[in-house]
Amino acid sequence: MDIAKYLIESTEEVFNTMIFMEVSTEGCMSEGKESIFSHFSAMIGLSGDLMAMISIHCDAYIAMDIAGAMLCTEFDDVDDDVKDAMGEVANMLAGGMKSRLLDDNIDTTLAIPTTVMGKGYSISSPKRGNRVVVPFDLTQGRFFVDMKYSMQ
């Protein structure tokens, strides 16, 4: 099981086939201690044989660009449509991970996606477990896909 590889494959698949945006990455950042500064996060939990939280973090303008590409429209601010679209991106990323994990006989169930927005928030989780952070680049800028996980 290669979580970083699965996360990269899932992200590339979602962005190339569902959002029609080209993404690139140089791979996983060093695991565990990264701080990500962004104004928008969409998250979804997984439970089962593997417990996890998958998040996509970006600035608001990147969230609007991603949602706009996905919905074939332009956004001037982060409204409910942008929040819903980014929650769906998190859901699709988790679906790609679920499929890849199932190939390794690791069964998971997805939770409901959640979005958080603002200039002064932090997201934390227990120190136990593993963490993978992968930066991705779009023409418009950078976003991060983050997965905190532990096996049951």
pTM: 0.90
**40-48 and 108-110 as β-strands: parallel, antiparallel, unpaired?**
antiparallel
CA pair distance 56, 143, nearest whole angstrom? 7
Residue 123 is predicted with a pLDDT of: 67
Q: Which domains does the chain have, with CATH numbers?
A: 3-151 (3.40.1550.10)
- Mean pLDDT over 123-131 rounds to 73
CB 130 within 8 A of CB 150: yes
Q: What is the pLDDT of residues 88-120, one digit of tens each?
A: 999 999 999 999 999 999 999 999 999 998 887
CA pair distance 68, 27, nearest whole angstrom? 26
CA pair distance 140, 10, nearest whole angstrom? 20
Residue 44 is predicted with a pLDDT of: 97
